[in-house]
Amino acid sequence: MRLLLLLVAKDLRRKLRSPLGLIGALAFPVVFAGMIALAFGKDGGVPKVRMLVVDEDGSLLASGLASAFGSRQAASVFAGRTVSEAEGRELMENGKADALLTIPRGFGRDVLEARPVALRLVRNPSEGILPEIAEQTVGALADILDGGRRLLDRPMQTLRPLLDDRAAAPADADVAAVSLAFKRAIEGASKLVLPPAITLESDLFATSAGGSPSGGRASAKPSGSSLSAIFLAVFPGVAVYGLFMVADQGMRDVMTERTLGTLRRQLAGPVRAEAVIAAKAAYTAIVAAGALIVLALVVVAFVRASVSVPGFALLSSALVVAVTGTTSMVYGLARTEREASTLGNMLFVAMGFLGGGFIRIEGLPAAVRHVAPVTPLYWGVQGYRALLESGASVAGVARPAAILAAMGVAFLAVGMAALRRAARTGASA
Amino acid sequence: MFQVRGLVKSYGPLRAVDGVSFEVRKGELYGLLGPNGAGKTTTMSMLSGLLAPDEGTILFDGADLAVHPLEIKAQLGVVPQEPALYDNLTARENLSFWAGLYRLEGKRLRGAVDRALEQVGLTDRAGDPVKHYSGGMKRRLNLALGLVHSPRAVLMDEPTVGIDPQARLNILEAVRQVARSGTTVIYTTHYLEEVEQLCDRIGIMDHGRILAEGTLDELIRRVGGRETVTVRGAFDAEAVRARLAALPGVQSAASENGRVVLSVESGGSAVDLLGRVLAEGLPLEGISIQPPSLNTLFLNLTGRELRD
């Protein structure tokens, strides 16, 4: 034990003297998640499409279309505003709008009379993706309008004379007939369109992830702004990925010492190769555990999320075993530092993508989602998401923790055997 | 103290060490002299327990290294050819770590570290990170790491390779001090003058074998009092070797690297030969006469000079 402590203390002292790599690995998840949150979470949410509408028509239908961008449903995406053409042009030129939609004169009449009609959209090319969103949305609106007009063609024909300014006030019987016609048309179509076959669900912050382990308390989601919510949505994935990078640095030290000649020198002393490798694994585990604590403090300090501490401790312990085991296997199987670096980078990046480190697992293709559970990174990400998003307790993270620990122990057994052989070979080289 | 019997180590078809046997007595400074690739470092790796021999045994005070590796390694110090140090730790931290590996603790450890620093003249720089040291200072610290736990025997593998003359003198003086303190030293080198100055006994090694062994005087006597005449010029060395080999007084002749090396009896024969060589009318660029030396012995044993 004294020897183990001596070896680990030496490695920790060396790491503290040259901490740049460790700081980089720790900063990566914070910076990555922070940048994503800042990009999409400013002003309390996703940046809105600044949409200008020039209503040249002024009809009821045109007004309805113009006001659609200011509706409650559209408010989360659009900042809609009706302007004159001159004002619209000026705002576009000054970069104060993402898109300008012009509803042409005669639009309402042409729609009612089933004549072809074109909406005109001018996009601001300097505003990135937001004008594209405007274009797609207006396109969808045009399709809806077109479909609605075709569906309600007959009752509209009945309605049209009644909307004529010069017409006398409609009789009660006319209004009843038009209402009945609209009702029949909608009832006829409803068999085809209801219930909706395709729905869009967002589970970004409030819902439990599909397949994610959960249990325990009702919710531990942060009460802060959407900036912190987006940060927390991204952070578990990149944090677990970052932890693999931290562990990679720890185990890489076996190769570094081999190159320095200090491994050979240690083995020329009264030290077994097993002790040197066990100490390196212990050092890696300590650094990984320290990194996890730092990352947890970041979450607590800046995002104010509260999670089950026993659940966090259980999952983190299992993850430390898993990352130590995985990296020991990588460095045990590689013959040179360069080979280990290439193998490690490939494996960790692949795990990052497959296991939901960079993209939430729900956003990945079905085939990838089936493969994801073979990676320890997946279970780490799912476990932390359950803690952060669903308020999972110890019971809620028991499954991912058990799987992580089992993977870690298996990988560690392979890695230690391979590293012991590599240490002896390296020492005699 | 060391009894080495029939050591063999092969790497594939290459027999790096081929039946090496020698003995080193307690307190002796034993030199293994040979060119690069002679098998010195492989032999040292086996002596330090880093490499298991394919055949043969290594006994340390009668105990077999293969049977009691940790007990024997605890009594040895190893000074590798290239400094094996932690660059971002200080000299004191490096020494403390290595002393700790050999079970030194507390006051004993601190005393041992101070002595080792004093021994290699690094006391005033003990608190500096090693990355700020010169190459010579790193070599001295490398030596100190092998001595800090006061081993009974030290294995030094070419500790002066690639350093400046002043640093080399410092290292050699430190080695002398170690030997004077009664520590057994096995020292490998390919520098003739180092073994001539330092070693009590010398083993001459080439192609994985020990070709000759003894004190410096014993080895030079084996040369048989012969001197070496080396002839250089713009000529076909092989053709000239055949001509000069026939001259009176020439014991042996070899051609290598465009030179002809002649071995003659000492006591005036070399000077006589000089006149005869000049009389041959060869396009000469230089002639030199070397008195009997280890290099002459190596030349006689291998047909080539040690520096090649």
Domains of chain A: 2-40+218-428 (no CATH), 49-193 (3.40.1710)
* Chain B nearest CA to A17, separation (Å): 6
* Chain B nearest CA to A258, separation (Å): 10
A171 or B20, higher pLDDT = B20
pLDDT for residue B9: 94
Q: What percent of chain A clears pLDDT 90, i.e. is strictly above it?
A: 10
B84:A260 CB<8 A:
yes
* Chain A nearest CA to B119, separation (Å): 20
Q: What percent of chain B clears pLDDT 70, i.e. is strictly above it?
A: 96
Q: Which helix (H) or strand (E) holds A362?
A: none
Res. A423: pLDDT tops 70? no
Residue B251: pLDDT band by 50, 70, 90 thresholds? confident
> In whole angstroms, how far apart are CA B28 and each of A125, A146, B63, B109?
86, 104, 19, 27
Report the candidate in B167, B229, B225, B220 with the shortest Cα–Cα distance to residue B192.
B220
Per the CB < 8 A criterion, the answer to whether A424 and A268 are in contact is no
* Chain A nearest CA to B38, separation (Å): 16
Q: What is the pLDDT of residues B116-137, one digit of tens each?
A: 999 888 999 999 999 999 988 9
* Chain A nearest CA to B214, separation (Å): 28
Among A residues 398-427, those touching chain B with beta carbons less than 8 Å apart: 427
B100:A261 CB<8 A:
no
d(CA A309, CA B75): 50
How does DSSP assign B133-151, residue by residue?
S-HHHHHHHHHHHHHTT--
Q: Which helix (H) or strand (E) holds B164?
A: none
When CB atoms are compared, the residue of B88, B93, B100 closest to A18 is B88
A13 contacts in B (CB within 8 Å)?
Answer: 89, 93
Phi, psi (rounded to 5 degrees) for A126: -90, 5
Question: Is A223 an interface residue toward B (CB < 8 Å)?
Answer: no
pLDDT for residue A58: 82
What single DSSP character describes residue A392? Answer: B
Q: What is the dihedral of CA A296, A302, A303, A308, to 10 degrees?
A: 30
Per the CB < 8 A criterion, the answer to whether A119 and A104 are in contact is yes
pLDDT, mean of residues A21-31: 77
pLDDT for residue A176: 72
Q: What is the pLDDT of residues A381-413, one digit of tens each?
A: 989 888 887 888 888 899 999 999 999 999 988
Lowest mean pLDDT among A150-154, B84-88, B184-188, B220-224: A150-154
Q: Which residues pair with B55 in a beta bridge?
A: B8
Interface test with A, best of B54, B58, B96, B97 (most A CBs within 10 A): B97
Q: What is the pLDDT of residues B133-186, one digit of tens each?
A: 998 899 999 999 999 999 999 999 998 887 888 888 888 998 998 999 999 999
Phi, psi (rounded to 5 degrees) for A426: -65, -35
Residue A41: pLDDT band by 50, 70, 90 thresholds? low
A270:B71 CB<8 A:
yes
* Chain B nearest CA to A268, separation (Å): 6
B71:A272 CB<8 A:
no
Res. A222: pLDDT tops 50? no
Question: Is A267 an interface residue toward B (CB < 8 Å)?
Answer: yes
| Maximum alpha-carbon separation in chain B | 75
B71 or A111, higher pLDDT = B71
Q: Which helix (H) or strand (E) holds A81?
A: strand A78-82
d(CA B301, CA B212): 8
Among B residues 118-147, those touching chain A with beta carbons less than 8 Å apart: 129, 145
State chain A's mean pLDDT as an integer.
76
Report the candidate in A82, A85, A91, A87 with the shortest Cα–Cα distance to residue A63.
A82
Res. A194: pLDDT tops 50? no
How does DSSP assign B107-121, residue by residue?
HHHHHHHHHHHHHTT
B98:A13 CB<8 A:
no
Per the CB < 8 A criterion, the answer to whether B189 and B134 are in contact is no
pLDDT, mean of residues A197-214: 34
Ordered alpha helix ranges (H), B199-286: 216-223, 237-245, 269-279
Q: Which residues of A303-338 are buried (b: 16+ CB within 10 A; e: fewer)?
A: bebbbbeebbebbbbbbbbbbbbbbbbbbbebeeee
* Chain A nearest CA to B271, separation (Å): 49
For residue B128, what are the contacts with CB-CB under 8 A and spacing of at least 6? B90, B91
pLDDT for residue A402: 94
- In chain A, what are the helix, strand and coil shares in percent, each to the nearest 5? 70, 5, 25
Residue A196: pLDDT band by 50, 70, 90 thresholds? very low
For residue A335, what are the contacts with CB-CB under 8 A and spacing of at least 6? A422
Res. A44: pLDDT tops 60? no
pLDDT for residue A170: 66
B213 in helix, strand or coil?
Answer: strand
A264 contacts in B (CB within 8 Å)?
Answer: 50, 80, 84
Question: Is A268 an interface residue toward B (CB < 8 Å)?
Answer: yes
B130 or A428, higher pLDDT = B130
pLDDT for residue A266: 92
Q: What percent of chain A clears pLDDT 70, i.e. is strictly above it?
A: 74
pLDDT, mean of residues B268-284: 81
For residue B204, what are the contacts with CB-CB under 8 A and spacing of at least 6? B33, B34, B210, B211, B212, B213, B219, B294, B297, B298, B301
Report the candidate in A46, A351, A42 with the shortest Cα–Cα distance to residue A359.
A351
Q: Could you tell me if the ipTM is greater than 0.95?
A: no
A70 in helix, strand or coil?
Answer: coil
A276 contacts in B (CB within 8 Å)?
Answer: none
Best mean pLDDT range from A60-74, B62-76, B256-270: B62-76
Q: What is the pLDDT of residues A294-353, one digit of tens each?
A: 888 877 777 666 778 899 889 999 998 998 889 888 888 887 778 888 888 888 888 888
> In whole angstroms, how far apart are CA A245 and each of A17, A27, B70, B153, B222?
19, 11, 35, 43, 63
Residue of B nearest to A253 (CA): B86
pLDDT for residue A126: 62
B48:A6 CB<8 A:
no
Q: What is the pLDDT of residues A124-157, one digit of tens each?
A: 766 556 666 677 777 767 777 777 767 677 776 7
A427 contacts in B (CB within 8 Å)?
Answer: 50
Per the CB < 8 A criterion, the answer to whether A388 and A308 are in contact is no
- Degrees, nearest 5: CA angle B19-B23-B24: 135
> In whole angstroms, how far apart are CA B62 and each of A41, A151, B9, B72?
76, 105, 22, 11
Question: Is A13 an interface residue toward B (CB < 8 Å)?
Answer: yes
pLDDT for residue B115: 94
Amino acid in the structure at residue B150: S
B255 or B110, higher pLDDT = B110
Q: Which residues pair with B263 in a beta bridge?
A: B228, B252
Res. A223: pLDDT tops 50? no
d(CA A277, CA A251): 9
Q: Which helix (H) or strand (E) holds A56?
A: none
Residue A46: pLDDT band by 50, 70, 90 thresholds? low
Q: What is the pLDDT of residues B28-46, one digit of tens each?
A: 999 999 888 899 999 999 9
d(CA B74, CA B187): 19
Residue A429: pLDDT band by 50, 70, 90 thresholds? very low
The encoded tokens of residue B4 equal: 């080495």
B100:A268 CB<8 A:
no
Residue A48: pLDDT band by 50, 70, 90 thresholds? confident
Residue of B nearest to A263 (CA): B84
The reply to whether the predicted model has a pTM over 0.80 is no
Best mean pLDDT range from A58-62, A332-336, B281-285: B281-285
B78:A272 CB<8 A:
no
The encoded tokens of residue A74 equal: 């559209």
State chain B's mean pLDDT as an integer.
89
Lowest mean pLDDT among A130-139, A185-194, A216-225: A216-225
- Integer Rg of chain A from CA: 31
Question: Is B48 an interface residue toward A (CB < 8 Å)?
Answer: yes
* Chain B nearest CA to A409, separation (Å): 28
B263 in helix, strand or coil?
Answer: strand
A279 contacts in B (CB within 8 Å)?
Answer: none
Question: Is A266 an interface residue toward B (CB < 8 Å)?
Answer: yes
pLDDT for residue A85: 87
